[in-house]
Amino acid sequence: MNPDAPLLFFDSGVGGLSVLGPTRALIPNAPIVYAPDSAAYPYGTKSEAKLAAHVPVLLTRLVERFAPRLVVIACNTASTIALDHARAALAIPVVGTVPAIKPAAELSRSRVIGVLGTEATVRQPYVDDLAARFAADCTVVRHGSAALVELAEAKLRGRAPDPAAIAAAIAPLLDAAPGMDVMVLACTHFPLLADELAAAAPGVRQVDGAAGIARRIAHLTRGQPWPERPSGQAVFTAEPDPALFPALARFGLSRVATL
Ligand code: DGL
């Protein structure tokens, strides 16, 4: 294994940074290519057919270009729709990000769990299956929000989210799930709004899969060599917005390019 072979993180936008963070903490010297599909953002309002066709093609292009050792689909929407298609298209390991319903069910005392994702994610059979397998004795209430994705994108560009907008975005979930004590952040953009969501839903625990994904990546790459120093670049599919550069730098992505 070439020590410089990167880990390729992929999302529609900045959400995958919430997955990247714990991986960086666990494997500090892993070279990172972070690829936001800014040309096709947002994913959550797109159709299954479109994403199932688009994601494997783009990932194939990225893998040809960067020769990563492993791909992380750091996006619940793309994973719940296109994970199998991506695995079939690529010859390297593909780690997906799917709603953390299992740990949420383990934590819940009230047995009422919320799943907060994109509109596309919350309607997936993949989510039905997770709920049936791991939370059969829970009431699992789903809510999709495109507004929260936009608010997370704006926050990473330095614009503080309006608390009223956050509250309005999750009000339908709170109304539909009385007694909810655990909320699955089933979109990788949402942990970037953890503080704001905690203020809007006090007392509700938030669960996401990022720490588990970091452990999975460490397991899959155990024994492989890494460079002596960390490095990271962001590779956008459309002209990048310079307002994002400071946030990217905070995640160790000091170089920015366009595919
Ligand atoms: N970050 C993505 C997810 O985890 C999707 C956001 C979007 O593009 O709608 O689902």
Query: What are the tens digits of pLDDT across the range 165-175?
Result: 999 999 999 99
**38 CA from centroid of ligand 1 (Å):** 11
Residues 86 and 130 in one domain: no
75 lines ligand 1 (CB under 6 A): yes
CATH code, domain carrying 189: 3.40.50.1860
Tokens encoding 248: 């990217």
Asked if residue 54 belongs to a domain, the reply is: yes
Q: Are residues 15 and 48 in the same domain?
A: yes
How much is the pTM? 0.97
Same domain? For 16 and 64 the reply is yes
Is 176 in contact with 108 (CB distance < 8 Å)? Answer: no
- 189 Cα nearest atom in ligand 1: 1
Does residue 117 sit in helix, strand or coil? strand
Is residue 188 located within the same domain as residue 223? no
d(CA 181, CA 87): 35
Q: Are residues 92 and 125 in the same domain?
A: no
Res. 13 pLDDT band, cuts 50 70 90:
very high
Q: How far is the CA of 121 from the centre of ligand 1 (A)?
A: 8
Q: Is 138 a catalytic residue?
A: no
Specify whether 137 is located in the same domain as 186. Answer: yes
Give pLDDT, residue 209. 96
pLDDT digit string, tens, across residues 22-75: 999 999 999 999 999 999 999 999 999 999 999 999 999 999 999 999 999 999
187 is catalytic: yes
Question: For residues 215 and 19, is the Cβ–Cβ distance under 8 A?
Answer: no
Distance 13 CA to ligand 1 centre (A): 7
- Please check whether residues 12 and 73 belong to one and the same domain: yes
Give tens-digit pLDDT for 97-147. Answer: 999 999 999 999 999 999 999 999 999 999 999 999 999 999 999 999 999
76 lines ligand 1 (CB under 6 A): yes
pLDDT score recorded for residue 61: 98
Q: Distance between CA 237 and CA 134 in Å, rounded?
A: 36
> How close is the Cα of 124 to the center of ligand 1, in Å?
14
**Residue 99 CA to chain centroid, in angstroms?**
9
pLDDT of residue 190: 98
Helix H, strand E, coil C: the string for 221-248 is: CCCCCCCCCCCEEEEECCCCCHHHHHHH
Statement to judge: residues 78 and 12 lie in one domain = yes
Answer yes or no: is 2 within a domain.
Answer: no
Q: Which of 171, 193, 208 is the last residue of a domain?
A: 208
Quick one: 222 exposed, middle or buried, by C-beta within 10 A (0-12, 13-18, 19+)?
Answer: exposed
| Residue 242: alpha-carbon gap to chain centroid | 22
Q: How many Å apart are CA 77 and CA 73, to the nearest integer?
A: 9
Name the burial class of residue 169, with classes exposed (0-12), middle (13-18) and buried (19+) by CB atoms within 10 angstroms of its CB: buried
Confidence category of residue 237, pLDDT binned at 50, 70, 90: very high
Local confidence band at 85 (pLDDT 50, 70, 90 cut-offs): very high
The total domain count for the chain is 2
The span from the CA of 191 to the CA of 123, in Å, is: 20
Per-residue model confidence (pLDDT) at position 87 = 98
Q: Is 189 in the pocket of ligand 1 (CB under 6 A)?
A: yes
Instruction: Please give the structure tokens belonging to residue 88.
Output: 């079939």
Range of the domain at 115: 101-208
Of 98, 187, 193, 214, catalytic:
187
| C-alpha to C-alpha distance for 240 and 253, rounded to whole angstroms | 13
Q: Is the CB of 153 under 6 A from ligand 1?
A: no
Interval between CA 74 and ligand 1 midpoint (Å): 9
Cα angle 151, 155, 160; round to 5: 95
Nearest to 177 by CA among 123, 124, 131, 140: 140
Q: Is 44 in the pocket of ligand 1 (CB under 6 A)?
A: yes
Say which of 55, 74, 75, 200 is annotated catalytic: 75
**Is 76 domain-assigned?**
yes
Determine, yes or no, domain membership for 83: yes
